[in-house]
Structure 1
């Protein structure tokens, strides 16, 4: 029986609940799925037939070690998604690359580590009543703040402090987040599988469930599907798994908020056939 290593983190040694349905789905097609902590030195990654990155959700605090691990694994065993893609995707400046290829993104200002800023002037110049400030390497809304007129001084202090340690980015707050939420389109081996909508709790802007957000299964429109496909076409490289997060903006366009090809939650519990699709995609990669 082929064995597939499912890389996770120490806090989730058995995977997140959204990923656990993958293991029985793999077993149904004759593949053993084994969750393993990515930075456990005792793991022999070469002894597995394939390594799939899953819930390695502690990597933002260990980014150099994580990318080194990916390179080391890829040198001895097939890794999905590939190590160069992980290196590209873990820094949100990949959005600049996609924008240059014609993908509409949420407008973004980038600040390298150590940069000086005038957040007040930026918001006035761009006519953004509110903005979201976050690191270029982050996950699950960590070190992320929403800044508005009443919190501008606090936001400026936060951005100044963060820039002493890491590169940051500033985007306008898109009001649709609070009304229609973020749309996540899920793909396996480049094929659309299913979709969910993530909606923040009242009074919050973060859609993650750990911050009170909720998830709904949805059927995307043809316009939304076309927007997602445009993103994947721009990447032009194979992916085992991909999640495209879209936001509708006031101009009526579906804009890319995030392309997740490192360790995204694939919301397997929200579509009965999704675990089987993911397992089949892994089976295809095993050849």
Structure 2
């Protein structure tokens, strides 16, 4: 029986995780699965045939150490999924600039290093918006993400300046459809489309994650979403086991929010065949 490690974090107590739905399908394909803490330096990665990055939802607090661990895994006999060069490319959201240059529509973005109060107010005028979003370029779980009006920006600026001091961050106009319609996530395993969900925030919030009260529903994506997603996937520097492509509707059409290739929740609970599909694709990739 082949051995597979799911790279996770020490405790998922504050999170919602569906990776256990993979255990039975993987077992049917001859895989024994074990969940391991990515911070556990005692692990011999050579004992595994594959190491799959799954619920490492604290990596953003120590991204360099995370990459060091992945480098160790990649230099073992285990196969790392997704591979290290993809993780390095996807770690900072600056990859969105590369996708935009290739014609993929993204939410308008200002790339910043630290924050200056004199520069930020001009963004409201530039984008003709009443609210902006500020967040780190390396982030997960909506950590350190702020939705700000001009007044809120002025009031919170001392805290923001301290938080983002000497730190790469990004600003975007707030897209109203995130709360009125939601965010679309399309899932691909290998080159195969799997399923789509629509994530909507709870009343009074803008964060769509379940941990923040977000609601999930399965939907059939519009044809243009599949086409745009495949165009985004074509820009990835190497083949991947899994990918999640997040979109939001704007007045100019759909815009890419994120291309998640490191540790996205894959929401196996929302599609009865998704876990089986994932296991089949993994098994197929391992034979190649």
TM-score class, shorter-chain normalisation, is over 0.9
Deviation at 1:17, TM superposition (A): 3.0
Partner of 2:141: 140
Q: Per-residue displacement from partner, 1:90-111 (whole Å, max 9, x unpaired)?
A: 1110111111111110000011
Partner of 1:240: 241
Q: Per-residue displacement from partner, 1:113-157 (whole Å, max 9, x unpaired)?
A: x45352112222332211111010110100011001441213433
After superposition, residues 50-89 of structure 1 pair within 5 angstroms as 50-76=50-76, 77-89=78-90
Instruction: Specify the SS of the correspondent of 1:226.
Output: helix
Deviation at 1:163, TM superposition (A): 2.4
Partner of 1:281: 281
Runs of 4+ in 1 over 4 A off after TM superposition: none
Partner of 1:175: 176
Deviation at 1:235, TM superposition (A): 2.1
Give the conservation status (yes or no) of the 8 Å contact 1:57–1:139: yes
Q: Which moved more, 1:116-125 or 1:192-201?
A: 116-125
Give the conservation status (yes or no) of the 8 Å contact 1:196–1:215: yes
Give the conservation status (yes or no) of the 8 Å contact 2:16–2:211: no
Count of aligned positions: 284
Q: Per-residue displacement from partner, 1:204-256 (whole Å, max 9, x unpaired)?
A: 111011111111111111111111111112225211000000011011x1110
Give the conservation status (yes or no) of the 8 Å contact 1:162–1:168: no
Partner of 1:217: 218
Partner of 1:267: 267
Counterpart-to-counterpart distance in 1, 2:231 and 2:266 = 19
Counterpart-to-counterpart distance in 1, 2:263 and 2:27 = 22
TM-score, normalising length from structure 2? 0.94
Give the conservation status (yes or no) of the 8 Å contact 1:206–1:213: yes
Counterpart-to-counterpart distance in 1, 2:82 and 2:23 = 18
TM-score, normalising length from structure 1? 0.95
Partner of 1:36: 36
Give the conservation status (yes or no) of the 8 Å contact 2:17–2:265: no
Partner of 1:227: 228
Partner of 2:163: 162
Q: Per-residue displacement from partner, 1:37-84 (whole Å, max 9, x unpaired)?
A: 111112111110011100011100011100111111101121110111
| Structure 2 residues not aligned, in runs of 5+ | none
- The RMSD of aligned alpha carbons is 1.6
Counterpart-to-counterpart distance in 2, 1:122 and 1:158 = 19
Counterpart-to-counterpart distance in 1, 2:278 and 2:141 = 23
Counterpart-to-counterpart distance in 2, 1:173 and 1:150 = 15
Q: Which moved more, 1:148-157 or 1:95-104?
A: 148-157
Instruction: Specify the SS of the correspondent of 2:235.
Output: helix
Give the conservation status (yes or no) of the 8 Å contact 2:86–2:237: no
Give the conservation status (yes or no) of the 8 Å contact 1:4–1:33: yes
Counterpart-to-counterpart distance in 2, 1:38 and 1:250 = 41
Partner of 1:208: 209
Give the conservation status (yes or no) of the 8 Å contact 2:85–2:237: no
